[in-house]
């Protein structure tokens, strides 16, 4: 019952209608009143989160502009055509450096987000991580920019799952999978959008809005890893991390024309991944 109350307290009316209609809306209002959570407070939290996203996007855009001015020789178009195996090989052998790969994908991501609204924020620490990578090129994913779903714990960033009550509660440490990515030389550089409460095959929430399909903006990118599907399908990320209980990786992959992999339960750690209700077996 506690999990149901937690889910109801921030659910969208449109989503609620898919379940029990007006009864859910009434239940939502009752829970909000019990919590003393006003509409004005909710709007203020949403605006604050949106401002953080805008600031991160603008700072990333400025960094990309400065890089492009000082490195006009970077062939971003070629870099973006490489497969993961081709890219990792070139990074390992040194014919490409992490900086030019990082800025190529960052620029593409920023451009895509303007049309698709697939990002909930740039991970600004990624700029420093990229500059301090091990010069010995250690790690299977050395220098590879990686996108992560919004519910992945990343130190000092929210994992809201698209609900207001989870805002302003940044992670105290990286999730296990983010730690593993970093140890393998990968650079997590952006968090991607999700449906409210992660419980929808569409991709929209009241904090960050709706994500569109990269091949047809009149269609959805799917859910719940819809931001990942849109970003990878549009070419802004080569490798992304999602989560899947009932199709949350497989559906966006299908909708966006990419490959998605749902691992066997327990194969990858879910420590540090957020959900909206207790007992969710995220994987």
Which residues have a catalytic role annotated? 149, 224, 248
Q: Which among 275, 277, 26 has a CA at the least distance from the CA of 151? A: 275
What DSSP designation does 196 have? G
- The rounded distance, in Å, linking the Cα atoms of 194 and 242 is 10
Structure tokens given for 96: 């490409």
* Helix residue spans in 138-235 (DSSP H): 176-183, 226-233
* Residues facing residue 15 across a β-bridge: none
Q: Please, what is the end-to-end C-alpha distance for the chain in angstroms?
A: 23
- The rounded distance, in Å, linking the Cα atoms of 245 and 49 is 27
Q: Give the 3-state secondary structure of residue 53.
A: helix
- Omega before 240 cis (within 30°)? no
Contact between residue 87 and residue 101 where contact means Cβ atoms under 8 Å apart: yes
What DSSP designation does 273 have? B
DSSP string, 151-181: TB--BTS---TT-GGGTT--BSS--HHHHHH
């Amino acid at each position: 019952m506690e999990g149901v109350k937690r889910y109801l307290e921030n659910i969208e009316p449109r989503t609620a209608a898919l379940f029990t209609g007006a009864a859910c809306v009434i239940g939502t209002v009752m829970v909000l009143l019990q919590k003393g959570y006003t509409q004005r407070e909710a709007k203020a939290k949403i605006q604050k989160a949106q401002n953080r996203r805008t600031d991160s996007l603008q700072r990333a855009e400025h960094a990309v502009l400065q890089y492009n001015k000082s490195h006009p020789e970077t062939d971003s178009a070629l870099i973006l055509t490489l497969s993961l195996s081709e890219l990792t090989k070139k990074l390992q052998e040194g014919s490409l450096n992490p900086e030019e790969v990082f800025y190529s994908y960052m620029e593409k991501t920023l451009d895509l987000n303007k049309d698709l609204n697939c990002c909930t924020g740039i991970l600004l620490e990624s700029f420093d991580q990229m500059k301090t990578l091990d010069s010995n090129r250690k790690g299977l994913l050395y220098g590879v920019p990686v996108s992560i779903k919004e519910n992945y714990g990343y130190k000092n960033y929210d994992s809201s799952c698209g609900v207001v009550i989870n805002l302003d509660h940044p992670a105290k440490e990286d999730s296990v999978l983010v730690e593993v990515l970093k140890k393998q030389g990968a650079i997590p550089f952006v968090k991607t959008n999700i449906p409210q409460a992660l419980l929808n095959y569409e991709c929209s929430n009241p904090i960050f809005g709706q994500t569109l399909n990269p091949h047809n903006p009149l269609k959805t990118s799917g859910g719940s890893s819809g931001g990942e599907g849109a970003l990878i399908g549009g070419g802004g990320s080569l490798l992304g991390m999602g989560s899947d209980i009932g199709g949350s990786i497989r559906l966006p992959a299908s909708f966006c024309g990419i490959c998605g992999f749902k691992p066997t339960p327990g194969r990858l750690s879910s420590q540090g991944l957020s959900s909206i209700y207790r007992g969710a077996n995220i994987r």
